[in-house]
Amino acid sequence: MAAVPFLPKNAPFTAEDIDVLNQLVQRSTPLQRSWLSGFLAGLDAAQAQGLAQPVPAARPRLPLTLLYGSESGNAEGLALKAKKVAAKQNFDARVVDMGDTDVAALKTAKNLVVYISTWGEGDPPQRAADFYKALMADDAPRLDGLRYAVLALGDTAYVNFCQTGRLIDARLEALGATRAADRIDLDLDYAKHAAAWTERTLEKLAPAETSATVVHVDFKTAGTSDDADEPQFTAENPLEAGINALINLNGTGSTRETWHVELAVGDTGFGYKPGDAIGIYPENDPELAAKLAGAVGLGGDALVKKLTQAHDITTLSRATVDAYAKLTGRKDVAKLLEEGELARFAADRQLVDLFEAFPEKLETEQLLKLLRPLPGRLYSVASSLKAHPGEAHLLVGAVRWTSHGKPRKGVTSTYLADRCKIGSTVKTYFKPNKHFGLPADASRPIIMIGAGTGVAPYRGFIEERAETGASGKSWLFFGERNFTYDFLYQLEWQDHLASGALSRIDVAFSRDQPEKIYVQTRLWERRAELLRWLDEGAYVYVCGDEKGMAKDVDATLAKILAEPAKGDQEAGRAKLKELTKAGRYQRDVY
């Protein structure tokens, strides 16, 4: 520590103070010292007029681009958090959505940190798709001189874990940029690891010489909480919500099982808006937990309880298989990790199948180490706080299927359907969605397209518009299997139609007649009218199952938009892109 000189004895402080200061200065980092000097420099001025005039930094602050590609807002949230940290480390940081920029902008960026998630089957988030394509294209610009790092978000439950992040990381290097810090791939429990990685990465990006410069301190924000604008109940800090109502909306005779759940979320009600989502932390089926433990020669109430409440015991991920192979040293398990093998084996299998197929005796600790924390599941809010103060309603489709001779159950949906009762409490957290919500302009027409549980947010939309007396027209396209048994919220839609809160409805029930009718069938039938609504500035929303519906709806919309251009599909696609950029084509698909 010789590098740091001591305060001389003749410094204008008492001996005690000089000791304290010396101790402090000695253990301080260059950055802390720069900050301190800036702080002291501004202090008197601040006291003089109540508020400090920022003192110019002795050196220009470093440019930093925090670039994110995000679907449900996780990566975006991390980028915004990083901005606050960067500000303290003398960065002049801009947070940029891949959806609003192009690759060329990176040429001048100098310092870049990428926060990117993976969707679909290894695809980039939809708003990031164009940027991603351009970056991967042969004509992408060289990026020599750019220093960067990538944080990848993903879910080990998917085969292509963090694929988009991995590919972007490699591509930036290929284009001549310099990796300033190693990429990190994060699972659903990303939050705790992300903050530390960002700190470390920014340290690496901040070149040594800035260490002695004076850091300007903004007294307006100094000391105010970083998270003031953050939702109060997060995945890390869930809210115990009581269940006020729990109804299977499908009538006797249905082949479906869709639960309307009313949660008591307190006066604040997360302050959600229609379009946001709420997360539920489930509990596993105790029977399955016992079965899983048994499969590796373990048992006992304590362990089963732990497995039920805290661990993901269903997902069969590469990570788990890899760990199990190493732990057991089994060649046959290791074989599963070879090219294509896992995809084949894991297809509609679960962890218990792995244990049963390759049985080994494990210690409790070994088992627990194999398991990731039990992740929550998101559900679109199906209500408006204005219509139901203190409540958030969800619409949950029970997931049940049979594979490899075993009946299987979706963890969260059947936790709610089978084991929760009215009066039970569930762990919930808030998941705002900036990119799915009513137009600010209440006079804009809205076209809402959804099948099955995809109708959930629209119940919130229409309730909200009814409560606020919004003047805009609204048109709902709803699809399910059978009219008689599966018309979710039928009576409410009828009331909204009668009151005018909902202007129009079209329905598509696939199993009521010999030929299949889906929402996209109806969209196409109504194309002329739809185009008219779009000319009037309508917003288009699509919510629900990606594979089952959203893909086809997207294609049909493009086809419809191609009509005015004499069926030119490219033009249709382009128009749909425009709408997306303008925020008039919003999707919430899962």
Ligand X SMILES: Cc1cc2nc3c(=O)[nH]c(=O)nc-3n(C[C@H](O)[C@H](O)[C@H](O)COP(=O)(O)O)c2cc1C
Ligand Y SMILES: Cc1cc2nc3c(=O)[nH]c(=O)nc-3n(C[C@H](O)[C@H](O)[C@H](O)COP(=O)(O)OP(=O)(O)OC[C@H]3O[C@@H](n4cnc5c(N)ncnc54)[C@H](O)[C@@H]3O)c2cc1C
Q: Applying CB under 8 A, which residues contact another protein?
A: 247-253, 260, 483-485, 487-494, 497, 505-507, 509, 512-514
Task: Report the nearest approach of another protein to the CB of residue 265 (Å).
Answer: 21
CA dihedral 470, 475, 476, 477 (to 10 degrees): -160
Residue showing tokens 């969605």? 433
For another protein, the closer of residues 432 and 457 by Cβ is 457
| Residue 290 in the binding site for ligand X (CB under 6 A) | no
Question: And the tokens for 448?
Answer: 């809402």
> Nearest 5°: phi and psi at 448?
-110, 120
Tell me if 476 sits within 8 A of 504, measured CB to CB.
yes
As a whole number of angstroms, the distance between CA 216 and CA 532 comes to: 55
Distances (CA, A) of 239 to 278, 373, 418, 507: 11, 18, 21, 36
| Contact partner at residue 13 from ligand X, ligand Y, another protein, none, CB < 5 to 8 Å by partner kind | none
Strands of the 504-509 sheet, one edge to the other: 504-509, 474-480, 446-451, 539-544, 585-589
Selected from 274, 410, 432, 460, the binder of ligand Y by CB under 6 A is 410
| Residue 126 in the binding site for ligand Y (CB under 6 A) | no
Task: Report the nearest approach of another protein to the CB of residue 379 (Å).
Answer: 18
Distances (CA, A) of 55 to 35, 45, 85, 222: 12, 9, 20, 14
Evaluate the CA torsion angle 312, 315, 316, 322 in order and state its sign.
Answer: negative
Closest among 432, 452, 444, 440 to 475, alpha carbons compared: 444
Task: Report the nearest approach of another protein to the CB of residue 474 (Å).
Answer: 13
| Contact partner at residue 505 from another protein, ligand X, ligand Y, none, CB < 5 to 8 Å by partner kind | another protein
Alpha helix (H) residue ranges in 329-470: 331-335, 341-346, 351-357, 364-370, 411-414, 456-468
Task: Report the nearest approach of ligand X to the CB of residue 88 (Å).
Answer: 24
As a whole number of angstroms, the distance between CA 295 and CA 297 comes to: 6
Task: Report the nearest approach of another protein to the CB of residue 551 (Å).
Answer: 25
Q: Which positions ≥6 away from 330 have C-beta within 8 Å?
A: 324, 358, 360
Burial of 288 (0-12, 13-18, 19+ CB in 10 A): buried
Give how many residues touch ligand Y by CB under 6 A.
23
| Residue 396 in the binding site for ligand Y (CB under 6 A) | yes
For ligand Y, the closer of residues 454 and 472 by Cβ is 454
| Residue 155 in the binding site for ligand X (CB under 6 A) | yes
Selected from 72, 201, 474, 580, the binder of ligand Y by CB under 6 A is 72
Selected from 378, 447, 476, 542, the binder of ligand Y by CB under 6 A is 378
| Residue 453 in the binding site for ligand X (CB under 6 A) | no
| Contact partner at residue 401 from ligand Y, another protein, ligand X, none, CB < 5 to 8 Å by partner kind | ligand Y
Interaction with ligand X in 157-216: which residues (CB under 6 A)? Answer: 158, 160-162
| Contact partner at residue 410 from another protein, ligand Y, ligand X, none, CB < 5 to 8 Å by partner kind | ligand Y
Distances (CA, A) of 389 to 267, 273, 469: 7, 12, 17
Question: Which part of the chain contacts ligand X (CB under 6 A), choosing from 119-127, 203-211, 295-303, 457-465?
Answer: 119-127
| Contact partner at residue 279 from ligand Y, ligand X, another protein, none, CB < 5 to 8 Å by partner kind | none
For ligand X, the closer of residues 97 and 285 by Cβ is 97
CB hemisphere CA count around 230 (13 angstroms)? 19
| Contact partner at residue 85 from ligand X, ligand Y, another protein, none, CB < 5 to 8 Å by partner kind | none
| Residue 118 in the binding site for ligand Y (CB under 6 A) | no
Count of residues making up the chain: 590
| Residue 119 in the binding site for ligand X (CB under 6 A) | yes
Interaction with ligand Y in 292-351: which residues (CB under 6 A)? Answer: 314, 348
Closest among 310, 376, 333, 308 to 155, alpha carbons compared: 376
| Residue 255 in the binding site for ligand Y (CB under 6 A) | no
3-state SS string over 540-571? EEEEECHHHHHHHHHHHHHHHHHHHHCCCHHH
Give how many residues touch ligand X by CB under 6 A.
23
Contact characters 64-93, ligand X, x per CB under 6 A: ------xxxxxxx-----------------
Task: Report the nearest approach of ligand X to the CB of residue 70 (Å).
Answer: 3
Evaluate the CA torsion angle 206, 210, 216, 217 in order and state its sign.
Answer: positive
Task: Report the nearest approach of ligand Y to the CB of residue 125 (Å).
Answer: 12
Task: Report the nearest approach of ligand X to the CB of residue 251 (Å).
Answer: 29
Contact characters 9-38, ligand X, x per CB under 6 A: ------------------------------
Max Cα distance, the chain (Å): 97
| Contact partner at residue 105 from ligand X, another protein, ligand Y, none, CB < 5 to 8 Å by partner kind | none
Tell me if 251 sits within 8 A of 270, measured CB to CB.
no
Which residues make up the interface to ligand X (CB under 6 A)?
70-76, 117-122, 125, 153-155, 158, 160-162, 546, 590
